[in-house]
Amino acid sequence: MLKYFRTKGRINRVELFAMTVVVIIIESITYLIWGKDSDIFLIISILLFVIYLIQCAKRYHDLNKWGINGFVWWIIPVLNLIYFFQLYFLKGTNTKNKYGEPSDFNITRKKRLDYEYKSENLQKETKNIGEFTAKDFPIEDKNNKFYFYEYCKPNGEWIKKDEPICKIRIGESSGYLFKCATIIASKSGFLEWTVEKDCVLEEKKIFYKLHDEGIYEKENAVKNNEYKHYYFLDELNKSFAWLVSDGAFVNKGDEIYKYKDSKYNEFIHKAEKDGYIHIVDLEKIYLFKNELLYYIRNKDTQRVVEKYQNTPSIIVDDLTKSISIVWNRVSTKSRLGYGIVTKSDNGLVDLNFTFNYLQNVDKIVFHFNPKQISPKQNDKVSFLFESGEIIEFRLNSNPVLLKNQNDEKVLEYKSSITKSEIELFVNKDFKKWKIDLVNENREILGGEKGRIIDYESKDNLKIVIKKFGADYISTVISNISDYQPIENRELDVSTNLRDDVCYVYLMHDTTNGYYKIGISNKPYYREKTLQSEKPTIELIASKKFPVRKIAESIEKSLHSVYDDKRLRGEWFELDEKDVEHIIESLK
């Protein structure tokens, strides 16, 4: 126990976690007994904090780093998150380092493997099939139950001779403690998984197979149309960086990524074959054993389909039966995205655009960040394509200030778009965009990079624009039976008229009882949009005002009156009388 008061030595991540729990428990008991204002509580709290910092220092010893990091990690804002990750999640060095031997603390770790079982005779007898028999294990283990624990490599990976294949748990476990044996390959082959974790291994149970090349359909071979690259080392890396863009065509031997090991030696990994690379995690920092890092495929189609997903929301007006098509997700699978977001050349301005089907017309919808730019009537947005063709959209009215799906304020402008213009986005390579701020006598150029990391490169930006355009056309054709795209924007009056009528509304989420006070040009449409994300939201009341400015002032007043009941943004926790008063006000 005295070792926890000494600064020398090492503790592992599980040991630090256990010590953290103990400190919290003692702190809580002290608080309950003496209270937060007592001198005893203060003294014990200081002592516990010092002991905790000592453990942090020794945990950094385990990572072969200076112990001083453990005393200062909590002080530095933002960086303390990185320090926290290192302390509680990164594995220490497996062997002796300059701070001593690894800690033998193992309350929540599996027991060190007792022995390795080289299945040489088994391999010869069963032709590369792992057939279990207790006879192959030492006498003292034969009366125990045997359970499959884990495979040492992913399914379909190549196992070399004398490499570990899998691990078997011998007998019952006590918490996280158990006896374990490793099965070693007596020859090379592609690994086939045949059982699940914790499966009971009975006599003649097949728990793995090793195949020669060309036999197993899931073998991960370089000659395949798709090759997977895993990281197999079990050591801490200090840094990591991709050296190629996602979706790029690579040749065998091209540099793919680099990293530094625990001793700061730099390694560069090179491509195993020619093909298009599909990077799994573009924001990767740390590497973990058996982690899939990338694919190389003969074609790029599968990556595009998997990464650039467009999810529409089909909204039917109950009164008019008209159909609107908006988007919950554009060109991403991991986050909500209203449209395609691109950066200006100087990186200071974003242009967000999408295609929607509104009021029986194809629309291109622009969202501008009012903190970056405030376009006005007669300003222009233009798109240039590699073919030299240009599409120009003139703002016939000032953009409207509203909140997007993420509750962020944006300036929105909608313009009709013709069939031929949409097809230009689909069939031609996008090159550049320009925002012409006529009122300010300046231009902003952009389109070289995407704002979202998945399509940050120009090549990927071209791909997502084409795919989104194609998905929009197919979605409209599938859902609009009498679809008639316009051929001439000048003949579409909907672009040239601004609907300034605006409503203040009250909506109710029946799941949690919260209320939303907001404004919208079309509250029923807004209700449908919210219901596409959360079906339990319903419109309670709304009132029409002739211009948006009046509606905004009423909304602001209501927000001010009930500010003490605000949960976030436009959401409030109101009682029955509050709701009655608001409904009366909106009659």
pLDDT digit string, tens, across residues 236-285: 777 899 999 999 999 999 999 999 987 888 999 999 999 999 999 999 88
User: At a CB cut-off of 8 Å and minimum separation 6, what does 576 contact?
Assistant: none
State the pLDDT at residue 466: 97
Nearest one of 203, 197, 152 to 178, comparing CA atoms? 197
CB atoms within 10 A of CB 340: 27
Residue ranges of the chain with pLDDT lower than 50? 107-127, 493-499
State the pLDDT at residue 30: 87
E strands, 52-175, where? 115-118, 129-131, 146-151, 158-159, 164-174
Amino acid occupying residue 474 = S
CB 72 within 8 A of CB 83: no
CB 363 within 8 A of CB 371: no
89-101 pLDDT, tens digit each: 888 877 677 777 7
Beta-bridge mates of residue 35: none
Amino acid occupying residue 265 = N
Exposure letters 228-267 (e unless 16+ CB within 10 A, then b): bbebeeeebbeeeebebebbeebeeeeebbebeebeeeee
Q: Which helix (H) or strand (E) holds 531?
A: helix 523-533
Per the structure block, which two tokens stand in for 575?
């009682």
Give the residue carrying structure tokens 């625990």: 262
Nearest one of 362, 271, 325, 330 to 461, comparing CA atoms? 330
Domain 502-585 = CATH 3.30.70: no
Q: How far apart are CA 382 and CA 450, in angstroms?
A: 17
State the pLDDT at residue 533: 67
State the maximum Cα–Cα separation within the chain, in Å, rounded to a whole number. 90
Exposure letters 176-215 (e unless 16+ CB within 10 A, then b): eeebbbbbbbbeebbbbbbbeeeeebeeebebbbbbeeee
Q: How far apart are CA 211 and CA 216, in angstroms?
A: 6
Cα 551 to Cα 429, 498, 568, distances in angstroms: 43, 16, 20
CB 539 within 8 A of CB 527: yes
DSSP β-ladder status, 502-509 and 537-545: antiparallel
State the pLDDT at residue 118: 43
Q: What single DSSP character describes residue 100?
A: B
CATH of domain 115-211: 2.40.50.100
Amino acid occupying residue 432 = K
Q: How far apart are CA 234 and CA 93, in angstroms?
A: 10
Exposure letters 388-405 (e unless 16+ CB within 10 A, then b): eeebebebebebbebeeb
State the pLDDT at residue 492: 53
CB 420 within 8 A of CB 428: no
State the pLDDT at residue 500: 60
E strands, 132-274, where? 146-151, 158-159, 164-174, 177-184, 189-193, 206-211, 226-231, 239-242, 249-250, 255-260, 266-270
Q: How far apart are CA 359 and CA 279, in angstroms?
A: 40
DSSP β-ladder status, 566-568 and 515-520: unpaired
E strands, 251-330, where? 255-260, 266-270, 275-279, 291-297, 311-316, 323-329
Amino acid occupying residue 347 = G
Whether the domain at 115-211 and the domain at 226-304 fall into the same CATH topology: yes
Nearest one of 171, 187, 189 to 179, comparing CA atoms? 171
State the pLDDT at residue 413: 93
**Residue-range domain boundaries for the chain:** 2-89, 115-211, 226-304, 308-495, 502-585
Q: What CATH class does 226-304 carry?
A: mainly beta
Work out the angle between the directed axes of helices 419-427 and 458-479 (0-180°, nearest 10).
140
Work out the angle between the directed axes of helices 39-62 and 13-34 (0-180°, nearest 10).
180
Q: How far apart are CA 275 and CA 205, in angstroms?
A: 40
